[in-house]
């Protein structure tokens, strides 16, 4: 098959996939008797034209950056970590334990401690599937799916039977102490005269997510470990021949992946809810798959795709508020993005390659 | 626990195991042909919705079943298109299909019925009736076996029996017919099948089609047999439990029946008893919820007999030039 130029591979293919997904979504909106143009206008207005909208968009984007990076690090080692959901659940648990049972003098220290706990818990949850894949060849996709369900059951048990304060009805922990509350964008940027980001959950964790993007870029393309991960992803036999241990690399890549997914717990439990609630992840672990596929496994791409999905999430909430279109529209869009950028990739790539081949020929 | 209670639990096991069994056999066909399918959940869900929606609109459970079969098979062919024709990643395609179904069902349900993503409750001919097998009431007074026959074996809806019949049928098709031999070969060594002049693509599409039909039965039973109507996300992970059962059964039909009955029993027990008291130790209900998944991980780890999947599973077939 004809090769695509790199820029077309990096920009054109995801863009066309996105346009296809958008076109089909517009058809779906038409099909349920609503106006797609009007819907899009509402989404932009609700998510991007007000600072509070941005506060929500960036809050969601923070989650998706973490889970997107998690999926993409695993992808580099040719591992499909579908367990971001469970790892993020455990990350939230780590955050809750640290915030509830340790005394913290200031939010900066609490955030540091909670981040370490979240990453450790998330990584620990990824460890068993990683080990089983590396040592015993158990398919990591299936084991991580199973671990998602086990994590959900574990959290359910802990919240209902152990961590719920006496006399409380809903299954959630106590509110975290005030010293652990993270500053929101409103706390950071709003002034008397200019009340920005009012009531929005976006918080300082967003900057942690950006730092994670930079760190992952450096890790994957500027360190020996990153090289080993990519080498293993390209060819296991070549990596083995070069003296790279597949077992070690698989486990380390999955620990990093799980740790990143776990970090999402800092944003949801500490930044937004300020306690641990049931199903705090709300499917963000799965959106990470779409984000990593769209972002072509590059931190810059992941960042942009996460913002896009943050916009879709906030915009979808606005739609549900003002129109008869339920929030599930976003799930459909997400499915189409995964389908076109991940599975039907060749359906976009093949015709495109033909176009480029045709353009090249007359020049010869 | 007395005999009557035991029968009740086993009776509910039968009903809860049926959607698992049908979906598990669906996955068996697909994966034996080398197409990994983690989209069982989505196909069941879309079939559940369209069965319930059409049954609610027409009052006919048969038309509902037809709608379920068609919708599930269409979704199955999307998976086929992505994983066979365009040689895409089968796992990613399966994930996409699960989300597509989760989103579309609620979207369409809200548009058609305006009840927050559910269909109206089905009544009368919109649901499967329970079939009383011959002589069930006459034999009831017979000690032990009478109630067993009348309560456990008799009195289920048609699709429960269809599910049970599908087990030997699947075994016969896969292991006693030419089609089955070729289908299994295409999952182990597609190049050999190709050399013999049989179409790999055609066989894989056939397997994916059968998978769609069986998932359609599973979803249909869920919404029009087990329950009376569709609610948002009503499959609740059953597609994944079916997948777990498939691995647990090591891709074999009779073992699939055993695995699905076991997982059905776990669900039935979790449904009936919230927490189980075993002489001082209480097993919380969440353990029952998580047990199918934990067992599958243990099996996958190869500590209790190794589960080896079909060799060409997940690999798109490229004809050599």
Residue A12 — pLDDT band, cuts 50, 70, 90? confident
What is residue A212's predicted lDDT score, i.e. its pLDDT?
Answer: 96
Is the pLDDT at A325 greater than 70? The verdict is yes
Whether residues A342 and B86 touch (CB distance < 8 A) is answered with: no
Degrees to nearest 5, angle at CA A35 with A61 and B230: 75
Please, how many CA atoms are within 13 Å of residue A338, restricted to the half-sphere of its CB?
27
| Structural tokens at position A24 | 């089909």
Nearest CA in chain A to B282: A161
| Residue found by looking up tokens 């909670």 in the block | A114
Listed residue (B43, B11, B16) closest to B29, CA to CA: B43
More confident residue, A103 or A137: A103
Question: Which chain A positions have a beta carbon within 8 Å of B96's beta carbon?
Answer: 335-336, 338-339, 342-343
Question: Which chain B positions have a beta carbon within 8 Å of A328's beta carbon?
Answer: 102-104, 106-107, 110, 117
What is residue B267's predicted lDDT score, i.e. its pLDDT?
Answer: 86
What is residue A2's predicted lDDT score, i.e. its pLDDT?
Answer: 56
Interface of A with B in 303-342 (CB under 8 A): 324-326, 328-336, 338-339, 342
**pLDDT mean values, one per 10 residues, chain B (321 residues):** 83 93 96 92 95 92 95 95 89 91 92 86 84 80 80 86 95 95 92 90 95 96 91 89 88 93 88 72 81 84 72 79 52
DSSP annotation of A162: I
Strand-pairing partners, residue B283, are B276
C-alpha dihedral (A131, A135, A139, A144), degrees to nearest 10: -10
Question: Which chain B positions have a beta carbon within 8 Å of A154's beta carbon?
Answer: 286, 290
| Residue found by looking up tokens 């919109």 in the block | B126
Q: Give tens-digit pLDDT for A241-295.
A: 999 999 999 999 999 999 999 999 999 999 888 899 888 888 888 899 989 988 8
Q: Is the separation of the CB atoms in A69 and A302 below 8 Å?
A: yes
Choose the weakest-confidence range: A147-156, A326-335, B70-79. A326-335
Using alpha carbons, list the distances in angstroms from residue A218 to A215, A222, A227, B164. 5, 5, 11, 56
| Structural tokens at position A120 | 């450790």
What is residue B304's predicted lDDT score, i.e. its pLDDT?
Answer: 62
Q: Is the separation of the CB atoms in B90 and B37 below 8 Å?
A: yes
What is residue B275's predicted lDDT score, i.e. its pLDDT?
Answer: 66
Closest CB from A153, A331, A346 relative to B286: A153
Can you give the residue ranges of every domain in chain A? 65-306
Interface of A with B in 205-264 (CB under 8 A): none
In a mutagenesis test of the A interface, which of B237, B290, B303, B310 is the best target, namely the one with the most A β-carbons within 10 Å?
Answer: B290
Listed residue (B120, B147, B124) closest to B136, CA to CA: B147
Cβ within 8 Å of residue A88, ≥6 positions away: A63, A66, A67, A122, A261, A262, A264, A265, A268, A281, A284, A285
Whether residues B92 and A161 touch (CB distance < 8 A) is answered with: no
What is residue B320's predicted lDDT score, i.e. its pLDDT?
Answer: 66
What is residue B306's predicted lDDT score, i.e. its pLDDT?
Answer: 65
Whether residues A328 and B38 touch (CB distance < 8 A) is answered with: no
Whether residues A332 and B309 touch (CB distance < 8 A) is answered with: no
Distance, C-alpha A333 to centroid of its chain: 16
| Residue found by looking up tokens 């799980």 in the block | A258
More confident residue, B79 or A357: B79
CA distance A53 to A318: 9
| Structural tokens at position B84 | 């066979």
Reported ipTM? 0.89
Using alpha carbons, list the distances in angstroms from residue B150 to A355, B135, B136, B269. 68, 8, 5, 21
Listed residue (A25, A95, A58) closest to A204, CA to CA: A58
Chain A nearest-CA distance from B241, in A, is: 9
Using alpha carbons, list the distances in angstroms from residue B266 to A119, B236, B292. 33, 15, 8
Listed residue (B144, B148, B120) closest to B133, CA to CA: B148
Helix (H), strand (E) at residue B211? helix B200-221
Q: Average pLDDT, stretch A6-17?
A: 83
Let me know how long chain A is.
364
Rg, chain B, Cα only: 20
Give the three-class secondary structure for A184: strand
Please, how many CA atoms are within 13 Å of residue B38, restricted to the half-sphere of its CB?
22
Nearest CA in chain A to B291: A150
CA distance B198 to B215: 26
CA distance A64 to A312: 12
DSSP annotation of B81: I
> Between A107-136 and B285-300, two packed helices, what is the crossing angle to 10 degrees?
50
Whether residues A332 and B96 touch (CB distance < 8 A) is answered with: no
Is the pLDDT at A78 greater than 80? The verdict is yes
Is the pLDDT at A152 greater than 70? The verdict is yes
Residue A300 — pLDDT band, cuts 50, 70, 90? very high
Q: Percentage of chain A with pLDDT > 70? A: 98
Q: Average pLDDT, stretch A5-9?
A: 81
Q: Give tens-digit pLDDT for A154-213.
A: 999 999 888 888 888 888 888 898 888 888 888 888 888 888 888 789 899 999 999 999
């Amino acid at each position: 098959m004809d090769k695509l130029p790199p820029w077309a591979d990096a920009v054109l293919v995801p863009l066309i996939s996105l346009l296809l997904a958008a076109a089909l979504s517009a058809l779906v909106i038409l099909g349920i008797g609503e106006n797609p143009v009007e819907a899009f206008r509402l989404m932009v207005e609700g998510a991007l034209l007000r600072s509070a909208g941005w506060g929500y968009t960036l809050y969601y984007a923070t989650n998706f950056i973490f889970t997107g990076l998690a999926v993409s690090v695993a992808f580099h080692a040719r591992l499909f970590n579908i367990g971001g959901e469970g790892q993020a659940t455990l990350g939230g648990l780590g955050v809750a334990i640290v915030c509830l049972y340790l005394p913290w003098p200031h939010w900066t220290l609490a955030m540091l401690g909670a981040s370490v706990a979240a990453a450790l818990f998330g990584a620990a949850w990824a460890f068993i599937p990683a080990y089983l894949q590396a040592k015993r060849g158990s398919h990591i996709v299936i084991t991580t799916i199973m671990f998602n369900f086990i994590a959900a059951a574990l959290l359910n048990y802990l919240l209902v039977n152990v961590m719920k304060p006496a006399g409380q009805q809903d299954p959630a922990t106590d509110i975290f102490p005030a010293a652990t509350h993270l500053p929101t964008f409103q706390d950071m940027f709003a002034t008397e005269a200019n009340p920005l980001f009012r009531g929005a959950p976006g918080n300082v964790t967003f900057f942690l997510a950006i730092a994670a993007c930079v760190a992952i870029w450096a890790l994957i393309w500027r360190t020996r470990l990153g090289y080993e991960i990519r080498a293993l992803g390209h060819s296991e036999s070549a990596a083995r021949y070069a003296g790279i241990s597949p077992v070690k690399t698989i486990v380390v890549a999955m620990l990093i992946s799980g740790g990143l997914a776990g970090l999402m717990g800092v944003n949801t439990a500490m930044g937004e809810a300020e306690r641990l609630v049931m199903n705090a992840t709300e499917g963000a672990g799965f959106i990470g798959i779409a984000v990593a596929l769209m972002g072509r496994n590059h931190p810059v791409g992941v960042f942009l795709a996460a913002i896009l999905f943050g916009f879709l999430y906030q915009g979808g909430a606005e739609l549900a508020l003002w129109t008869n279109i339920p929030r599930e529209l976003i799930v459909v869009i997400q499915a189409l993005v995964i389908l076109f950028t991940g599975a039907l990739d060749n359906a976009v790539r093949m015709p495109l390659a033909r176009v480029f081949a045709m353009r090249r020929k007359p020049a010869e | 626990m007395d005999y009557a209670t035991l029968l009740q639990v086993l009776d509910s096991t039968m009903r809860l195991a049926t959607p698992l069994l049908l979906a598990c056999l669906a996955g068996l066909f697909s994966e034996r042909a080398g197409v990994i399918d983690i989209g069982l959940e989505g196909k069941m869900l879309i079939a559940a919705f369209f069965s319930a929606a059409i049954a609610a609109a027409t009052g006919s459970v048969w038309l509902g079943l037809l709608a379920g079969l068609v919708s599930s098979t269409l979704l199955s062919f999307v998976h086929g298109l992505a994983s066979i024709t365009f040689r895409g990643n089968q796992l990613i395609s399966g994930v996409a299909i699960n989300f597509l179904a989760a989103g579309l069902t609620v979207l369409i349900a809200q548009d058609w019925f305006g009840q927050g993503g559910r269909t109206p409750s089905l009544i009368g001919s919109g649901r499967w009736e329970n079939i009383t097998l011959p002589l069930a009431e006459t034999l009831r007074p017979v000690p032990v076996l009478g109630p067993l026959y009348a309560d456990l074996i008799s009195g289920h809806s048609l699709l429960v029996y269809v599910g049970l019949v599908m087990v030997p049928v699947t075994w016969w098709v896969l292991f006693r017919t030419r089609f089955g031999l070729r289908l299994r070969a295409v999952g182990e060594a597609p190049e050999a099948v190709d050399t013999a002049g049989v179409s790999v693509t055609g066989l894989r599409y056939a397997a994916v089609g059968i998978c769609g039909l069986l998932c359609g039965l599973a979803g249909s039973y869920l919404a029009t047999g087990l329950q009376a109507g569709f609610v948002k996300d009503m499959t609740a992970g059953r597609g994944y439990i079916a997948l777990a059962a498939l691995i647990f059964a090591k891709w074999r039909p009779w073992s699939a029946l055993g695995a699905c009955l076991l997982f059905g029993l776990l669900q039935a027990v979790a449904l009936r008893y919230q927490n189980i008291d075993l002489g001082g130790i209480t097993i919380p209900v969440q353990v029952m919820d998580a047990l199918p998944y934990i067992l599958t991980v243990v099996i996958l780890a190869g500590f209790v007999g190794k589960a080896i999947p079909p060799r060409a599973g997940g690999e798109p077939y490229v004809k050599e030039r």
